[in-house]
Amino acid sequence: MGDEITTDQAASWVDRLIIDVSGATEKGGVKGVGGYVQYTQPIIDKKLDITIGAAGHYVDWGSGNHKGIDYKGIDLTYKF
């Protein structure tokens, strides 16, 4: 039973997660949605963090559509 996730652990993970999604419909019928997700994990005594992120979009204008991944990457941040 030692492998169970505690409420404090889950809350800590959620605090490090950022999700941003938005969408719109224009008068001409163009519909679009885009979003970004990012997760940051401390690695070494809260001095080194790794951040994993991705962003994408989808647009539909009636006669066609476009979708894509705008960003995907990993960043390392060292705090002096």
Q: How far apart are CA 37 and CA 58, in angstroms?
A: 15
pLDDT tens-place string over residues 16-60: 999 999 999 998 889 999 999 999 999 988 799 999 999 999 999
57-77 pLDDT, tens digit per residue, is 999 998 899 999 999 999 999
Task: Output the six-digit token pair for 76.
Answer: 């390392």
Q: How many CB atoms lie within 10 A of CB 25?
A: 11
For the whole prediction, is pTM greater than 0.95?
no
Angstrom distance (rounded) from CA 50 to CA 75: 6
Beta strand 31-44 pairing with 17-25? antiparallel
